[in-house]
Amino acid sequence: MDSSSDRRLKPAAKRGSVAVDHRTMKKRKVADRSEPERIGNSAGNQTPTEKTVDKDIKQVQVAVSLMCHQCQRNDKGGVVFCSSCNRKRYCYICIDKWYPGKTREEFETLCPFCFGNCNCKACLREVPVLRHPEVDASVKLQRLVYLLYKALPVLRHIHREQSLELEIESKRTDTQLQEIDITRTKLAENERLYCDNCNTSIIGFYRSCPNTSCSYDLCLTCCQELREGCQPGGVEAEASHEQFAESLHNHNSKRARSKTPSKRHGWESELAPTGSDFQADMSFPLPEWKANSDGNIPCPPKQCGGCGTALLELRRIYKADWVAKLLNNAEDLSRDYMPLDADVTEKCSLCQPYLIEGKTNPEVRRAAFRDDSNDNFLYSPNALDMPDDEIEHFQRHWMKGEPVVVRNVLEKTSGLSWEPMVMWRALRETGSKVKFKEETRSVKAIDCWDWCGVEINIHQFFQGYLEGRMHKSRWPEMLKLKDWPSSTSFEERLPRHGAEFLAALPYRDYTDPNSGLLNFASKLPENSLKPDLGPKTYIAYGFSEELGRGDSVTKLHCDVSDAVNVLTHTNKVNIPSWQRKSIDKLRKEFDKEDSYELYDEALGDVDGRSKYKALNHDQKAENGANRISPSSQMDQSISSIAEGMNGQLETRNMENSISLTSTEVSDPSRTSELEHVQSASSSASSNTSSKEERPRFDFIDDIVSGDPKLEPKQGLEKDSLVNENGAEVVLGAAVWDIFRRQDVPKLIEYLRKHKKEFRHINNQPVDSVIHPIHDQTLFLNERHKKQLKREFNIEPWTFEQHLGEAVFIPAGCPHQVRNRQSCIKVALDFVSPENVEECLQLTGEFRLLPKNHRAKEDKLEVKKMTLYAVSKAVREVKELMMAK
């Protein structure tokens, strides 16, 4: 409709010597439909010339379309015309509703369509084309050689592993074999091969059963373990098997005492099969499986998944000598490379906590108080001050395994709204042919109260994000929505937001998933199966203080790859005083309960039960029972295994939770009204940061870093501070704890020692763990972090993430997050040259986990990724050298 109306607007209306066009009317703010009657003198006092002019204006007004570009309606009253494009119009109602931070004058100067951040349905669903400036040839060459230099250790590891297996095969056959002599298995580009024993991705050489009815495949690492007399999968896998059997026995004992079987299943921890599924596995010992004395490996017995009748034969996937040629080329091309002179034990010479004038350096953020340490401060540059191709300072910290926090990344984008209603509107589709219809009506969220799944109407979820929700006990209900829409379709379902996110990311050579020079993940062949690295959206409610129960958190875990996490939207929910009183009362009761259940402080009994166990039981009954829940009260370590094997989700009875702004739950059928749900707290929510940077400070152990004169402002619930001049300072919306790699052994020791002091599924204490970090079942609150410091003298980097900040997390650094406000974060995984070795080591750790553990599968395929990254880099380096 716009195009036809625009064509009618082009010619000016002429009569005699008078010409009036729509641009003249815009300058005079003639936008309302009733405006013509207010132009000129009254009809009774007009001269003939004035009547003629008035008639001309009215004729032009008839031709002028008042169709709003946003809502495509012309019956909403006044509209504002854009003086830049002279085409688009936005009605007053849409301006106030969808662009709360903008004025009508701004729309008249430059409309959102011209600015590139229009959030109407049509614009939101356009697929933009991202254009990045060309990298200088010499810079590109230098960075590709750097990639080759950093990839050498992994390349040598792969080559050594394959050469050893070829040597063993030569000795067995008493023949000097070459790679060309090994039978090749050709895989299609979209095929992937996994080890049938440890689930690790197979690349290069492997052994396979020649029996066509079996075809058991075994990776080289499992082959080596068998020859060493170990159970393939490692000692940790054996210990995990024993722990699992023990915890299953404990669970069965508990279940025998239970009067009614539980129907709950865990969602966040993606828990595993029920006890009966594993009883069959453990009712008999696994048969012995050993390598022969000559190095031959028999196919495992049927109980282990093989046929037990044939010997495994050596096979290869890639062309003969491909790895050897890649290694030789990489060594030749990087031989003269001079690495960056950065001593990992020294403080960065470019980062000084204080400037010459004595002021705090805004590019350095204090995040820890370790004694005699050079890494208590984190590098925190401002995106607005960074050149597009700057990576050297970043690399100085990144190669040390330090997180980096980049401020104001959203300021370099078009300013597209990340309001939840805008995102929902961009995603929303109706009709019988909707591809992902279910995601537009309901979502599967996680309730942080008991870590169980919740199927909730999307209207209700977003209303709770803006206004808050609570249980009937008045305890805040903290819901989390992970990976919405599913990451495999993020850029397809939200193309504008996907492009906006990628445009916001700094250090594009590292983060660009398609063309990042230093991103190994971007080097995979176009049609090959690629790991799901995002972008992924995380939407969660938040609470300003640490509740101790039901906090909105991401529990401690460790990613197998590098990651960047951007806080794109926040919203503060105000807690009324009557609810806060109830919260304070319940917290005292929960503290007493924790003293008994977690810290062994004995208290009196109530009808044969612990007083506080009785309290816990009653509280659960009050908080709602008809929810998605674990299939049994199994040990929390078991809870972290076996993704997606618990049966189908059931709809939770949402009447057990209520909105903070009403006494009833919104009608689930009113999904279509979400567009009309306006945040009462929209003044507190925002999706863009101010161009003029505000002061930012972080709380660490109740100490304000940067300025001891800052104090919490009374009544602001620690969501803001006031300095000595009385000026308000905004605090972050999410609190991050990131541990150093070198502290991981001590951290694991602490967690194993104190594992029973944590709660997880159903708010029950954790009995045992398989891996205290990879299980993702534990969260260290302030009490635990202080205790960790006392007992092991380690502490994490603790800092707050503000709106528009990008947090870079190195692979191998365990981390956890607590949300202090409602937050929308978007994350992307990548693989950097500095951390590719760490990714390989983590893959080895995940390999030792039980078969159905949530982190077991080798989704990253870092060896395969490295080979293709080196192959592409070698080709491009040679082309650049020839072009010199």
8 Å CB contact between 384 and 411 = yes
DSSP H/E element including 553: strand 553-557
Look at residue 125 and tell me whether its pLDDT is greater than 70.
yes
| pLDDT for the residue numbered 244 | 42
Please name the amino acid found at residue 871. Answer: S
pLDDT band for position 788 (50/70/90)? very high
Residues in CB range of 438: below 8 A, 6 or more apart = none
In the three-class reduction of DSSP (H, G, I as helix; E, B as strand; rest coil), residue 30 is classed as coil
Cα distance between residue 270 and residue 638, in whole Å: 10
Cα distance between residue 271 and residue 634, in whole Å: 10
| pLDDT for the residue numbered 426 | 79
Look at residue 13 and tell me whether its pLDDT is greater than 90.
no
pLDDT tens per residue, range 636-659: 333 333 333 333 333 344 445 555
Residues in CB range of 158: below 8 A, 6 or more apart = 203, 204, 323, 863, 866, 867
In angstroms, the Cα distances linking 677 to 98, 217, 459 are 11, 55, 9
Look at residue 438 and tell me whether its pLDDT is greater than 70.
no
Highest mean pLDDT among 100-104, 237-241, 450-454, 662-666: 450-454
Cα distance between residue 756 and residue 264, in whole Å: 21
Cα distance between residue 224 and residue 201, in whole Å: 16
pLDDT band for position 6 (50/70/90)? very low
Angle at 561 between CA 559 and CA 567, to 5 degrees: 70
Dihedral sign from CA coordinates of 439, 440, 444, 448: positive
Better-predicted residue by pLDDT, 341 or 620: 341
Cα distance between residue 405 and residue 565, in whole Å: 9
Look at residue 443 and tell me whether its pLDDT is greater than 80.
yes
In the three-class reduction of DSSP (H, G, I as helix; E, B as strand; rest coil), residue 354 is classed as strand
pLDDT tens per residue, range 479-536: 998 877 765 677 778 888 888 899 999 999 999 998 899 999 999 988 888 888 889 8
Look at residue 64 and tell me whether its pLDDT is greater than 70.
no
**How many other CB atoms are found less than 10 A from the CB of residue 495?**
16
| pLDDT for the residue numbered 539 | 94
pLDDT tens per residue, range 180-207: 999 999 888 788 899 998 888 999 999 9
Cα distance between residue 785 and residue 426, in whole Å: 41
* First CA to last CA distance, the chain: 54
In the three-class reduction of DSSP (H, G, I as helix; E, B as strand; rest coil), residue 188 is classed as coil
- Pair type for strands 734-738 and 728-730: unpaired
Cα distance between residue 394 and residue 403, in whole Å: 10
Dihedral sign from CA coordinates of 458, 461, 465, 468: positive
E-state strands within 299-418: 313-316, 364-366, 377-379, 404-406
pLDDT tens per residue, range 599-613: 765 444 434 344 444
Residue written as token pair 């806060």: 580
| pLDDT for the residue numbered 826 | 94
pLDDT tens per residue, range 196-235: 988 889 999 999 999 888 989 999 999 999 998 887 765 4
Please name the amino acid found at residue 197. Answer: N
Q: What is the mean pLDDT of the chain?
A: 75
Which residues share a beta bridge with 562? 830
| pLDDT for the residue numbered 868 | 95
Better-predicted residue by pLDDT, 773 or 730: 773
DSSP for residue 643: T
| pLDDT for the residue numbered 640 | 37
Better-predicted residue by pLDDT, 791 or 442: 791
pLDDT band for position 428 (50/70/90)? low
Look at residue 272 and tell me whether its pLDDT is greater than 80.
no
DSSP H/E element including 865: helix 862-882
In angstroms, the Cα distances linking 40 to 28, 328, 829 are 12, 85, 63
User: What distance separates the 2 farthest-apart alpha carbons in the chain?
Assistant: 116
Query: Helix crossing, 137-173 with 836-847: angle to 10°?
Result: 40
DSSP for residue 282: H
- Rg, C-alpha atoms of the chain: 31
Better-predicted residue by pLDDT, 236 or 329: 329
pLDDT band for position 236 (50/70/90)? very low
Q: Kindly report the backbone phi and psi dihedral angles of residue 646, in degrees, each rounded to the nearest multiple of 5, phi listed first.
A: -100, 5
pLDDT tens per residue, range 522-541: 999 888 888 888 898 999 99
8 Å CB contact between 824 and 500 = no
Look at residue 422 and tell me whether its pLDDT is greater than 90.
no
What is the pLDDT averaged over residues 716-743?
A: 69
Of all residues in the chain, the percent with pLDDT exceeding 70 is: 68
Buried b / exposed e across 158-178, counting CB within 10 Å, b at 16+?
Answer: bbebbeebbebbeeeeeeeee
Whether omega for the bond prior to residue 535 falls within 30 degrees of 0, making it cis, is: yes
Cα distance between residue 879 and residue 387, in whole Å: 27
Helices and strands, number each (H, E), in the chain:
25, 30
| pLDDT for the residue numbered 720 | 47
pLDDT tens per residue, range 854-875: 888 778 899 999 999 999 999 9
| pLDDT for the residue numbered 730 | 62
In the three-class reduction of DSSP (H, G, I as helix; E, B as strand; rest coil), residue 313 is classed as strand
Of all residues in the chain, the percent with pLDDT exceeding 90 is: 36
pLDDT band for position 850 (50/70/90)? confident
pTM (predicted TM-score): 0.76
Cα distance between residue 600 and residue 155, in whole Å: 52
Cα distance between residue 705 and residue 728, in whole Å: 16
Residues, the chain: 884
Residues in CB range of 7: below 8 A, 6 or more apart = none
pLDDT band for position 122 (50/70/90)? confident
| pLDDT for the residue numbered 712 | 38
Residues in CB range of 443: below 8 A, 6 or more apart = 455, 456, 458, 461, 481, 484
> Tokens standing for 670?
């009113």
- Pair type for strands 657-659 and 562-571: unpaired
pLDDT band for position 329 (50/70/90)? very high
Look at residue 429 and tell me whether its pLDDT is greater than 70.
no
Cα distance between residue 327 and residue 810, in whole Å: 26
Nearest to 853 by CA among 279, 269, 361: 269
Q: Where are the alpha helices (DSSP H) in 533-679?
A: 577-597, 611-623, 636-639
**How many other CB atoms are found less than 10 A from the CB of residue 267?**
26
pLDDT band for position 323 (50/70/90)? very high
Look at residue 448 and tell me whether its pLDDT is greater than 60.
yes
pLDDT band for position 827 (50/70/90)? very high
pLDDT band for position 440 (50/70/90)? low
| pLDDT for the residue numbered 342 | 59
